[in-house]
Amino acid sequence: MSSAGVEATDLKQDGLGLSYEARLIGLDVEVTKALEKSLGDGAVEDIPMVASVGAKAGRQLQIDGVKAVLGAMVLIMLYVGLRFDFRYGPGAILALLHDSIITIGAFALTYREFSLTTLAAVLTIIGFSVNDTIVIFDRIRENLARYRDRKLERVVNLSINETLSRTIWTSGTLLFVTLAMNIFASGVIRDFAFAMNVGVIVGTYSSIYVAAPVVIWLTNRAAAQGKSVRASETTRRRRDAEAV
């Protein structure tokens, strides 16, 4: 086994000599040897946990993470489109992309480890952000039916103001909890809390400054296209009447 580059702490042969049982040296043993070589024998009493991810496993984690995030966004867009209108879907998706990219970028800037726990935090942020966005969209829909004589921009602004106190209280409560976890916890819990800290902040303002403006832009664009089509149809009919 040593010739193959595999070290073992124990190698046993069964009574018949047909099979062998080998106990391989774990990563914790190698780390302990390296530390004791520098610090002296007996300097390391115990290593509670050692974990390693190879290149293949890391690549699989990356692929599965992208699939999970994209799958969640597609399902959310379908839900928003069926419950409200498909003009609302792109705004929600852009807000979620904004939240996910900034959260992952925060990990890159701070050189933190991106693990399965962090991926779970990103998916949690997506759920939190879309919940806040749905609340605003629902109020916009109600006010559009109530104030038909007002411009869309004023209705959206009114809807945001009416839900602002709820947004602040919900986001603030979650931020305080995750901030305490980030300060007093350790390990992967701190990474999860850090992701939630960033996600709560960006998710709160993305529903107001990303999702809602996209709805306004798409609605106004659809209205402008409708006017252009009606104007073209009127012009064509007038020309046909003059020709007759």
User: Can you state the percent helix, strand and coil of the chain, rounding each to 5?
Assistant: 75, 5, 20
| Inter-residue contact 99 to 199 (CB < 8 Å) | yes
* Whether pLDDT at 237 is above 50: yes
Q: What is the predicted pLDDT for the residue at 22?
A: 47
Q: What is the pLDDT of residues 28-84, one digit of tens each?
A: 666 667 767 777 776 666 666 656 555 555 677 778 777 887 888 788 878 877 877
Question: What domains appear along the chain, each with residue ranges and CATH number?
Answer: 2-39 (no CATH), 55-235 (1.20.1640.10)
Residue 158: which pLDDT band, with cuts at 50, 70 and 90?
Answer: very high
Mean pLDDT of 210-221: 88
* Whether pLDDT at 106 is above 50: yes
Any residues with CB less than 8 A from the CB of 200 and at least 6 apart, and which? 125, 128, 171, 174, 175, 178
What would the two tokens of residue 62 be?
């990356």
Mean pLDDT for the chain? 78
- Assign 3-class secondary structure to 79-113: HHHHHCCCCCHHHHHHHHHHHHHHHHHHHHHCCCC
Q: What is the pTM of this model?
A: 0.67
* Whether pLDDT at 194 is above 50: yes
